[in-house]
Amino acid sequence: MPELPEVESVRAGVHEWTAGATITGAEVIDPRILGTTSRRHVDASAVDGFITAVTGRRIIAAERRGKFMWLTLGEGPSLAPELSLLVHLGMSGQLRVHRAEDEAHRHTRAALRLERGDESLDLRFVDQRIFGHLGVQPLVHAYGRLVPASATHIAADPLEASFDPESVVNQMALKRTAIKAALLDQTLVSGIGNIYADEALFRAGIHPLAIPARTRRSRLTAGLDSASSVMADALAVGGTSFDALYVNVNGESGYFDRALLVYGRSGQECVRCGGRIEKLTIGGRGTHFCPNCQRPPRYR
């Protein structure tokens, strides 16, 4: 399940393989990939518009904010960024670089034909569950940099230079929802998904149902620091993988799943105290925690 470390691994690979390449053609195999998460059905004109918009443009760079990734596209000699090709991997999306003659994976939803020097490559978007999406959008300013128009509400992530943890803690301290839900709120801090939210709260010893507005600022800071460090650790080993659903551009899995301390371990012994890992649902998401190491808030 791609979260920030996984998306960053993919972005780095895509940048290495595609920066400077020209898009000579595109194919949309499943038009639903161009829709939004709630409106999957798009018409033929959207497919034609997508192909027309990207064909002939040059890829300047692969960029990322949180779990949103995009290719900045330019045209002509100036190569000033004009457009973005937004890519969200959703739950099961993969961006993979192939030789043009390679057989397509059965869940390939779209492909770009690229030329870079003498090389011809395919950049393929593979997505089993179609929770991911693609789209061509103008670039606009948000949180100190140019981002695709539909990502302006996404806050800076902990790996960005513009990330301001004090400001995030200030905003978080106003929230009256569970801290687990606050960490997943991409308008507060981006990039944290269900897996790393559970791991971060365990490392910081914070119960997932704690209310930020009733939690000491030092504890909120510790939780945020923990989220940043757990994602940095995961990035160092290429992210997390439980199965074949997440791989990088070369089709390789990450190894951080071997370091997960609570996620997916309900009913098993806590590595810290030997107690039993429990699971509950917060905001519709499975939440794993140790009731001994993460004491319930007294005000519950």
Q: Catalytic residue positions?
A: 2-3, 67, 285
Pick between residue 114 and residue 212 the one whose CB is nearest to DNA.
212
Distance CA 275, CA 270 (A): 5
Distance CA 161, CA 126 (A): 31
Pick between residue 14 and residue 182 the one whose CB is nearest to DNA.
182
Looking at residue 266, the DSSP 8-state letter turns out to be T
> Using the rule CB under 7 A, which residue among 72, 94, 150, 294 binds DNA?
150
Distance CA 296, CA 280 (A): 13
Looking at beta carbons, which pairs linking 275-281 to residues 24 or more positions away fall under 8 Å? 280/208, 280/209
Pick between residue 112 and residue 154 the one whose CB is nearest to DNA.
154
Site membership for DNA, residue 181 (CB under 7 A): yes
- Token pair, residue 33, equals 């990939």
The number of residues that bind DNA (CB under 7 A) is 39
Site membership for DNA, residue 285 (CB under 7 A): yes
User: SS3 of 31, please?
Assistant: helix
Site membership for DNA, residue 137 (CB under 7 A): no
| Ligand-binding site membership of 180 (annotated) | no
Site membership for DNA, residue 193 (CB under 7 A): yes
Site membership for DNA, residue 175 (CB under 7 A): yes
Distance CA 152, CA 187 (A): 9
Site membership for DNA, residue 215 (CB under 7 A): no
Site membership for DNA, residue 300 (CB under 7 A): no
> Using the rule CB under 7 A, which residue among 5, 13, 90, 223 binds DNA?
90
Amino acid of residue 125: F
Site membership for DNA, residue 158 (CB under 7 A): no
> Using the rule CB under 7 A, which residue among 37, 52, 162, 170 binds DNA?
37
Site membership for DNA, residue 177 (CB under 7 A): yes
Cβ-Cβ contacts under 8 Å for 201 (sequence gap 6 or more)? 179, 180, 183, 207, 208, 223, 226, 289, 294
Site membership for DNA, residue 129 (CB under 7 A): yes
Site membership for DNA, residue 32 (CB under 7 A): yes
Cβ-Cβ contacts under 8 Å for 170 (sequence gap 6 or more)? none
Burial 86-112 (b: 16+ CB within 10 A, else e): bbbbbbbbbbbbbeeeeeeeebbbbbb
Task: Give min distance, CB of 79 to DNA, in A.
Answer: 28
Site membership for DNA, residue 84 (CB under 7 A): no
Pick between residue 26 and residue 189 the one whose CB is nearest to DNA.
189
Class of residue 214 by CB neighbours under 10 A (exposed 0-12, middle 13-18, buried 19+): middle
Pick between residue 74 and residue 286 the one whose CB is nearest to DNA.
286
Residues 228-257 touching DNA, rule: CB under 7 A, are none
Beta pairing partners, 99: 121
| Ligand-binding site membership of 107 (annotated) | yes
Task: Give min distance, CB of 106 to DNA, in A.
Answer: 7
Site membership for DNA, residue 130 (CB under 7 A): yes
**Residue 267: other Cβ atoms inside 10 A:** 9
Residues near DNA, by CB under 7 A: 1, 3, 32, 35-41, 66-68, 88, 90-91, 107, 128-131, 150, 153, 174-178, 181, 184, 186, 193-195, 281, 283-286
